[in-house]
Amino acid sequence: MSDDLPHFMREPLWRRLRTRLFHLWFVLRRPMTFGVRGVVYDEAANAVFLIRHTYVPGWQLPGGGVEAGETAYEALARELEEEGNIVLDGTPALLKSLHFNRNVSRRDHVALYLVKSYRQTSPKTPDMEIAEAGFFSLDSLPDETSPATRRRLAEIFEGKPADAYW
């Protein structure tokens, strides 16, 4: 396909359909959604942990939906463990930003945490959900890093104002 097409249009049709079906299932299952994302930051390397899902294009911050009966903190801890083998060693900072994720649905919001106290029990290997994962220097993020991820990182590390939209 042509390089001048938007990234999501360069994805194979089956992958785009799978993504849409996943989101439809998610919206039907939970009409109102609340999620968490974690900026796992390695200060010594000036690097952040990013994941690439099997069903959504681009590199993103790890995280996911808050389950019924679960706190946002518990959801963050669970998602970091599932998506990166990352265990929280301290309390992450809930940043002064809550974002409306209109790309997912008209009812999705995401809370953003900054995680500086953690340990990774082992490198994340690919599975059914996560195609790739790893730490990347803030100076050399992967080309396919999602625009929302780039905006959140600029807000945290460059002092840009927080955008209300994910």
Q: What's the average model confidence in pLDDT over 109-128?
A: 96
- Of 36, 34, 35, nearest in space to 114 by CA: 36
> In this structure, are residues 43 and 135 in contact, taking their beta carbons and an 8 Å threshold?
no
Candidate ranges 1-10, 134-143, 157-166; pick with highest mean pLDDT? 134-143
Q: What pLDDT is stored for residue 6 in this prediction?
A: 55
Which pLDDT band, with edges at 50, 70 and 90, does 1 fall under? Answer: very low
Q: How far is CA 91 from CA 32, 77, 158, in A?
A: 27, 10, 23
Domains along the chain with CATH numbers: 32-157 (3.90.79.10)
3-state secondary structure of 156: helix
> In this structure, are residues 39 and 153 in contact, taking their beta carbons and an 8 Å threshold?
yes
Q: Where are the beta strands (DSSP E) in the chain?
A: 33-42, 47-53, 59-60, 63-65, 86-88, 93-100, 108-115, 118-120, 130-137
In this predicted structure, the answer to whether residue 130 has a pLDDT above a threshold of 50 is yes
User: Model pTM?
Assistant: 0.80
Residues 35-68 have pLDDT tens digits of 999 999 999 999 999 999 999 899 999 999 999 8
Which pLDDT band, with edges at 50, 70 and 90, does 92 fall under? Answer: very high
For the beta carbon of residue 105, count every other beta carbon within 10 angstroms. Answer: 17
